Amino acid sequence: MTNIYANQLGALFLDHNQRLIVFARRLVGADAEDMVQETFIKAHSYLRSGREIRAPLNFLFITLRNLINDTHRKTKLALVDIPTDTAEDETPSIERQAMSGQKLESVCEDIARLPEKMRDAFVLRKVYGYSCSEAAEHLGRSPNTVREQVTQSFKKLQEMQRHG
């Protein structure tokens, strides 16, 4: 890996690794660090292909989300192969897992459809756990603007969920 790729990837890692792990841990538990490592491998491939990552938070969040969704899909497919005698005992749990995975995918898609400024404020505050001040500093906005954008994001997401 050339120095420029190593520097870009190193900066991404230092800036976002912990927040990605915290987010992934909420969704996949013990597999969080593996999922985040895979996210950075994807970022490395992306950079090596000569492309630029213009919005690193969005890029990493979307990449991680896609990896988690892929894992959920593979898990659902694996669950189909469970023998019939044990499937009856596990059905409620499997149904809840499937519904949870579908809901997560739906919410992630809705977040991706938010206007960029609202999405950036929302993702920093609610996904990565930045304080209002930290998010405002990172985005070059006032804390009041970030608060308002997050509030508006919640309203839009609720509307999107109601209307499918």
> What's the CATH number for 1-82?
1.10.1740
Angle value at C-alpha 155, between 66 and 110, nearest 5 degrees: 20
**Domain spans of the chain?**
1-82
In tens digits, the chain (164 residues) has pLDDT values of 445 556 777 777 888 888 888 888 877 777 888 888 888 888 888 888 888 877 787 888 888 888 887 777 766 544 333 333 433 444 445 445 445 556 667 777 788 888 989 988 888 887 777 788 888 988 899 999 999 998 998 888 888 878 76
Tokens 């930045």 sit at which residue?
130
Select from 66, 43, 63 the least CA-distant residue to 53: 43
pTM over 0.75: no
Looking at residue 5, its pLDDT comes to 56
What are the distances in angstroms from CA 53 to CA 38, 67, 132, 150?
17, 18, 24, 24
